[in-house]
Amino acid sequence: MATVTTPPELSTHPPLHPSDSEAGRRDAPWWRSAVIYQIYPRSFADSDGDGVGDLPGITRRLDHVARLGADAIWLSPFYSSPQADAGYDVADYRTVDPVFGTLQDADALLTRAHELGLRAIVDIVPNHTSDQHPWFVEALTSAPGSAARARYLFRDGTGPGGDQPPNHWRSVFGGPAWQRVTEADGSPGQWYLHLFDVHQPDLDWTNPGVPAEFASILRFWLDRGADGFRIDVANGLVKAPGLPDWDHEQGMMQGAVETDEQPPYWDQDGVHAIYRSWHDVVAEYPGDRVLVAEAWVPSLDRLARYVCPDELDQAFNFSYLLSPWRAKDVREVITDSLQAMDSVGAPTTWVLSNHDVIRHATRFGYPAGSDLPKGIGVDDPQPDAVLGLRRARAATLLMLALPGSAYLYQGEELGLPEHTTMPDEVRQDPTWVRSGHTQRGRDGCRVPIPWEADAPSCGFGPGPLTWLPQPQGWPDYALDRQVGVPGSTYELYRAALEQRAARGLGAGSLAWLDGYDDDVVAFVNDRTLVVANLGEMPVALPADVRVIVSSLPLPDDGTGPVVPSDVTVWAARPDHSPRQMATSSTAFAATRTPSLPARFTSYISASARRTTDCGSSPRAATTTPMLTVMPTRCPST
Ligand SMILES: [Ca+2]
């Protein structure tokens, strides 16, 4: 390294976010500082070789999540569903879809999770049911004005013959949010509201039968041992009285609308009474159960209203996920997030990837702030995979140092990229068809996980079938190529989670540091110094700190270790206790090497570049109801 970097004169701001007290830490519910690992059941592990992941597959592989060091799992929906929207169209909230297994399999999964010390959060989808739900089937065969129709939002049409929709509301997926039905006598009939797909009729939450049914569903899963719920579209359940007209296109998934006005179906004040009642249901149960909101609202302040002390416990922080890899943006969103959640005493959450967005190892392989398509295909500009993984590791290490609760998405601990060259003819996300082949959708982040490099389907299942093709190079990311390998992304995650727990970072504080250039994100969390270098020039660490974990090994410029571009470091400050100085055996602990070890750089570039194929893994024969009409729910990335 040519330039000698001088250790900066650092000064600490007053804490933006205070630590939990010792007593507070002792008594705090687990979820205030948890690391929660999202499992997308279709793509985690397949037990029976049909190419589709299932609950027994998850149970068999669950020790991986425990060894990684996560505190909990969140399971995306596995309920009986025609799969019009990847299981977010539920036909029976109390049964498991046969493609995923049985209710006994769900019980076994929950039992195994608890044996491993993992909590388990399940999904709840209360805004709408499937059109195959018995309630909706009954509503269709019942007369206008009947009790069965009153559970949904049936209305007469407008205009001559009622052949125009009741109002101008638009579906999130495009087109009118209303569908006309044919009455029992064959005549054109009423219309029903579907803010999402036509197969997802919205429930009427002002009908007392609806909240009563959902309280019963919550209890059904709490009784079986669920440790909480992730609430789908938590901002949508209540519509403004009278369904007043609104003819703007709305961009819920971008978290914004085209006007400053709030649509009469999002974020209505009435939702909060529902969540207060859910809070009470969950409070009937022993232990600390958690309610997590997926709520797309215009601001972090509006989001904070969902996590008031008598409502839900935490909310996904999509603002953080959507933030570009630029220091100014990262500092701003961290500050705003902590201030908003602290204002109501709720833990802030952090997330970089999920089943709806382009994986962050790929997102960060494009220039910061790029406007990426909703799904990347072979014709699109391809990411810089090496840079993407480098930045993803740095971003993850930054995220895991933040106080609050962090969400991981299956496979990110392996450094998995998005599948960006998937042939269009094997795509399963109906977004591709529904968008007129303009948006490829989310298949690229849902590719089955590689467990064993040399096994068929990379160990995803017992045979070669995978419901989406695994890309070339997948074996290089396999878990068995990374366990115990210094420098692997898996070992980085494991070391980070170990140190996060040992150093109490999740319950800790955040105080910004001054002294670095603007393109460095630097803060202290109690006795841990965190430096993320988002700039181009290497920066020095203070002389008196000791490196605990770094996202890549740190070169030494002769005066001490320096932090290169796109690298994050955790370091112990001088007043640490011996226990907090403990370093993980496989972390880059206190490395003072003259340059990046060749073994590491070859690993990272090989992972990103190699073109070995994953056994022979043809696409699964379509033996299961595939996602034939699923609309997009992608947040903008
Ligand atoms: Ca299966």
Per residue in 361-377, pLDDT tens? Answer: 999 999 998 999 999 99
Q: How many CB atoms lie within 10 A of CB 432?
A: 23
**31 pLDDT higher than 70:** yes
How far, in Å, is the centroid of ligand 1 from the Cα of 432? 24
* 498 flagged as catalytic: no
Residue type present at position 231: I
Strand locations in 162-274 (E)? 178-182, 188-193, 228-231, 250-251, 256-257
pLDDT recorded at residue 432: 85
The active-site residue out of 63, 280, 284, 424 is 284
The tokens describing 287, both together, are: 């232990």
8 Å CB contact between 528 and 515: no
Q: Which of 102-116, 242-256, 338-352, 472-486 comes out lowest in average pLDDT?
A: 242-256
* Spacing, Cα 45 to ligand 1 middle (Å): 8
CA distance 558 to 561: 8
Residue 613 has pLDDT above 70, yes or no: no
Domains assigned to the chain: 31-131+205-481 (3.20.20.80), 134-193 (3.90.400.10)
Q: How many helices (H) and strands (E) does the chain have?
A: 16, 23
What confidence score (pLDDT) does residue 7 get? 72
Nearest to 38 by CA among 125, 107, 122, 103: 122
Only one residue has tokens 């379509």, namely 622
Asked if 96 and 102 touch (Cβ cutoff 8 Å), the reply is yes
- CA 40 to ligand 1 centroid distance, Å: 13
> Could you tell me how far CA 67 lies from the centroid of its own chain?
20
Pairing of strands 290-293, 314-315: parallel
Spatial separation of the C-alpha atoms in residues 392 and 381, rounded to whole Å: 19
Residue with the bigger pLDDT between 84 and 143: it is 143
Strand (E) or helix (H) holding 396 = helix 385-400
Q: Is 169 left (phi over 0), alpha (psi -120 to 50) or beta?
A: beta
Distance CA 49, CA 463 (A): 5
Residues with CB under 5 A from ligand 1 (ion): 46, 48, 50, 52, 54
- For ligand 1, the distance from its centroid to the CA atom of residue 54, given in whole angstroms, is 5
CB count in 10 Å sphere of residue 144: 12
Tell me, what DSSP letter sits at residue 21?
A: P
The Å distance, Cα 80 to ligand 1 centre, comes to: 15
Describe the chain by its helix, strand, coil percentages, rounded to 5.
30, 15, 55
Residue 623's identity, in one-letter code, is T
Two tokens, residue 431: 């977004």
- Distance separating alpha carbons of residues 146 and 444, to the nearest angstrom: 44
Two tokens, residue 574: 């001088």
- Radius of gyration (C-alpha) of the chain in whole angstroms: 25
**Considering the chain, what percentage of its residues have pLDDT values greater than 90?**
77
CA nearest neighbour of 620 among 469, 430, 429, 451: 469
- What's the chain's average pLDDT? 88
Output the pLDDT for position 85: 86
Residue 246's pLDDT is what?
86
Question: How far apart are the CA of 217 and the centre of ligand 1, in A?
Answer: 26
pLDDT of 72 reads 98
Interval between CA 68 and ligand 1 midpoint (Å): 24
Burial class (CB in 10 A: 0-12, 13-18, 19+), 609: exposed
pLDDT of 254 reads 42
CA–centroid distance, 446 to ligand 1, in Å, is: 15
The residue annotated as part of the active site, out of 54, 85, 123, 232, is 232
DSSP line for 90-120: -SEEEEE-TTT--HHHHHHHHHHHHHTT-EE
Q: How far is the CA of 55 from the centre of ligand 1 (A)?
A: 8
Band (pLDDT 50/70/90 cuts) for residue 575 is low
Output the CA 48–ligand 1 centroid distance in Å.
5
Task: Please answer whether residues 87 and 52 qualify as being in contact, where contact means their C-beta atoms are separated by less than 8 angstroms.
Answer: no
Size of the chain in residues: 637
Instruction: Write the DSSP string, 444-503.
Output: GG-PPPP--TTSGGGGSSSSS-BSSPPPTTGGGG-GGGTTT-TT-HHHHHHHHHHHHHHT
| pLDDT value at residue 629 | 26
Q: Is 232 a catalytic site residue?
A: yes
Query: Residue 56 phi/psi, 5° resolution?
Result: -60, -35
